Structure 1
């Protein structure tokens, strides 16, 4: 198997980042996320798109959502430059899914299935070090001393977007916008569903087996 092109999908808290890191290491592919791609290309000239601003940086500096046209262009650039990839966080809606079809042919489409109750528990239990950014979880990965970072001794806090109200709102947006994309790939018989409520190692075993099977067919 050479340079597989992998899409991994799932709700916030499903474990996409954890599994993407293992995919990147094992299969020697690029981890392409919209956030990283935007930061790497924030000064790209997008004046030919006829939008309000001429670079992604201007949208980001204003705290505005970067338009789909810009995200599509940046993701396409990242995929072209990658010798194999795992794409994480895109497409978020059907318009982006149709754009992705024009950009590349995918070898594997993975969906990590996790119940909403489990997602809320995972996300509301996350704690982040204010100093170094290390992540912990009150149940699954607690620090040695409550509220104190193991790495640097900084204070651990709950991010504003990890409160129960905010988490449920994020999941509602995901259900409305991104679940139809998963159903689209399922209807195209491209989707491989993975039980994301297993341990990370068990999820990885299923992910690895699926990629090895699907990318060689």
Structure 2
């Protein structure tokens, strides 16, 4: 598929705020790259399926209670539940957000993308940039099989180097290997991702908004590439840049 460079990717001048989507295979380094990106661009609002539904459950909303009942063993929620909650999340965050960011878990395929496009269009918005952070299968596999994550907030060990007895840098809770981070299960997840990503990228490449970056580069270079891929309308941080 053709690659659209950041400077040439389309943006929509009438949209009040940009909408960006970051995706890539498991182990591509999306979470690490997003930490530096958030420091560079304040006011970003991130839609993560798990975090959204956990928050709804904490608030005791009907949607949150239904999500608790319907969550699968690996914390996947039915597509119809995600699209039901998405409009309310967008409306809640539009007044203060500088950018809406979707990452990884949604949208995952062409059907999700069509639903997202419809909900955004109803609000005069569109996806302005899709960034695909890619790594070869062997690199993704090695990273995932060697990582540990927090038992509470899923924060991974930096650089995918597990340290026995180490604690989460975010909340101090223990780090463990995720049950689905075994080789057989991971290869199934990776194959499914590749199939879904082909649909997703084809959908957004037709709109001219896809940028691909190399997830095997050093973290500072990945952070710089993600920054360069940001929509042109995304406001800069007023303060001096922090190191990636």
Is this contact kept in 2: 1:44–1:56, CA < 8 A?
no
Task: Describe the shift of the 1:34–1:131 C-alpha distance in structure 2 as closer, same or farther (beyond 3 A).
Answer: closer
Q: Which runs of 5+ in 1 are unaligned?
A: 47-52
Task: Describe the shift of the 1:75–1:24 C-alpha distance in structure 2 as closer, same or farther (beyond 3 A).
Answer: farther
More helix by share: 1
**Residue equivalent to 2:3:** none
Q: CA deviation at 1:165?
A: 1.1
Q: State yes or no: 1:16 paired with 2:16.
A: no
Correspondences of 1:84-103 after superposition (within 5 Å): 84-88=99-103, 89-103=105-119
Correspondences of 1:131-210 after superposition (within 5 Å): 135-136=156-157, 140=159, 142=161, 146-149=163-166, 157-210=176-229
TM-score by length of 1: 0.79
Report the 3-state secondary structure (helix = DSSP H, G, I; strand = E; otherwise coil) of the residue aligned with 1:135: coil
Report the 3-state secondary structure (helix = DSSP H, G, I; strand = E; otherwise coil) of the residue aligned with 1:87: strand
C-alpha RMSD of matched pairs (Å): 3.2
Q: Which has the higher contact order (CA 8 A, sep 6+)?
A: 2
Task: Describe the shift of the 1:73–1:141 C-alpha distance in structure 2 as closer, same or farther (beyond 3 A).
Answer: same
TM-score by length of 2: 0.71
Deviates more, 1:75-84 or 1:10-19: 75-84
Report the 3-state secondary structure (helix = DSSP H, G, I; strand = E; otherwise coil) of the residue aligned with 1:13: coil
Task: Describe the shift of the 1:107–1:142 C-alpha distance in structure 2 as closer, same or farther (beyond 3 A).
Answer: same
Q: CA deviation at 1:121?
A: 0.8
Structure 1: distance between partners of 2:153 and 2:49: 23
Structure 2: distance between partners of 1:33 and 1:165: 26
Residue 75 (structure 1) aligned to one of 86, 98, 108: 86
